[in-house]
Amino acid sequence: MFLILAQGVIAPYMAGRPFVAMKSRIYLDHAATTPALPAAVAALTAAAALPGNPSSVHAAGRAANGLLESSRDAVARFAGVPPEQIIFTSGGTEALALAMNGCAVPLIASATEHSAVLAARDGVTIAHVLPSGLIDLAALEGLLQSGPALVAVQAGNNETGVIQPLDEVAALVHAHGGLLLADCVQSAGKLALPDADYIAMSGHKLGGAMGVGVLIARDPAGITAVQRGGGQERGHRGGTQNLPGIAALSAALDVAHDWPAVAARRAALEARLVAAGAIIHGANAPRLPHISNIGLPGVAASTQVMMLDLEGYMVSAGAACSSGKVKTSHVLEAMGLGPAAGEAIRVSLSPATTDAELAAFAAAWEAMAKRLGKLP
């Protein structure tokens, strides 16, 4: 549970003076960002104290570069790839953009991809999904008849948690001479990384810090740098590396979590809400353990988010990448849900989320539904 203070700051002190907590709040938006783990904060703090630039050749620079490369080695071990395949970026969005804009081939993306994919390039060919949220493999094969392409597919959807059959997608793409870009921003650390040509990850979804991401490139030589500059990251991404963020990411990857227990708590929550009249979108497909997309028929998602926030529960309506706007979910629209696409909220858990917090949220959701005339 978090205490949100008068200035909206999650901290007990500022300038040495304690604030009075206005309301006890429960944070259930971990798919947007999850708090940095203590090990990550410690690593970030230690790295931030280093004076050197990793590109400098003096002693301080060599020390900073040593930390950079040891962190790269740690991420490579996590991914099971050589360190040369690890390219550090400013986040998941840049990692995806580097793969998509650094490869001079047509781009195909599933209709439920994150906007970081769908808005990254002009002329993206959309591959339809089934009502379950799973990609339509037959439709994808039809698109691949036009020739080799880079195909972008999420390992697990950021709004519904639906897990895509990436082994089948990879086989299909490679059979047609194409390349697979797997968006693993939500799934990394929860599922094994897939066999893909490019994999994107993001630090702040893993218990690291905001502002750092990773592109894993099977053949780094096949990428043309998009952000050019001083030749950092072996010429693949110009700009001084975010060493504190990279160190925090490396530390976060070493922390084990009990995701089956998270899935069990999510299942219990959903069972209670369905009994009260909720609809769980994506429930007919395999899903990531921490995401639940909950529909309340006839009530706009924005209304639900605001009412729950007033009661102290922080949830979202879809992705948290629209400048604070609540819009109809393109993911749910692609699944053919019609008006229901604008009537769903996303609840996302962390391993630290408790049964008591979820029980309190369920009671608040039921009270909201009753107040709105959706429950007797």
Q: Tell me how far apart the alpha carbons of residues 11 and 9 are, in angstroms, rounded to a whole number.
A: 6
- Percentage of residues in the chain having pLDDT higher than 70: 91
pLDDT value of residue 24: 73
Tell if the pTM clears 0.75, that is, is over it.
yes
pLDDT band at 375 (very low <50, low <70, confident <90, very high): confident
What is the model's pLDDT at position 328?
87
Do residues 155 and 184 touch, judged by C-beta distance below 8 A? yes
The residues annotated with a catalytic role in the active site are 321
For residue range 77-93, list pLDDT tens digits in order.
999 999 999 999 999 99
DSSP 37: P
How does residue 371 score in pLDDT terms, banded at 50, 70 and 90?
very high
Checking if the pLDDT of 278 tops 90, the result is yes
Domains and CATH numbers, the chain: 2-30+257-371 (3.90.1150.10), 38-253 (3.40.640.10)
Residues 6+ apart with CB under 8 A from 182: 153, 154, 155, 166, 193, 194, 196, 198, 199, 200
The 10s digit of each residue's pLDDT in 217-256 is 999 999 998 889 889 999 999 999 999 999 999 999 999 9
DSSP string, 41-106: HHHHHHHHT----TT--SHHHHHHHHHHHHHHHHHHHHHTS-GGGEEEESSHHHHHHHHHHHS-S-
Q: Taking residues 56-72, what's their average pLDDT?
A: 97
Q: How high is the pLDDT of residue 18?
A: 42
Instruction: Return the pLDDT at 374.
Output: 84
The whole-number average pLDDT for the span 293-306 is: 96
- Reference 102, options 200, 211, 170, 210; nearest CA is 200
* Helix/strand/coil (H/E/C) assignment for every residue in 168-236: HHHHHHHHCCCEEEEECCCCECCECCCCCCEEEEEHHHCCCCCCCEEEEECCHHHCCCCCCCCCCHHHC
pLDDT, one tens digit per residue, over 109-149 is 999 999 999 999 999 999 999 999 999 999 999 999 999 99
Mean per-residue pLDDT of the chain: 92
Taking only the tens place, the pLDDT of each residue in 3-60 is 333 233 333 333 444 433 446 799 999 999 999 999 999 999 999 999 999 999 999 9
CA triple 92-94-99, angle to 5 deg: 100
Residue 323: the pLDDT is 41
Question: Would you state the pLDDT for residue 230?
Answer: 87
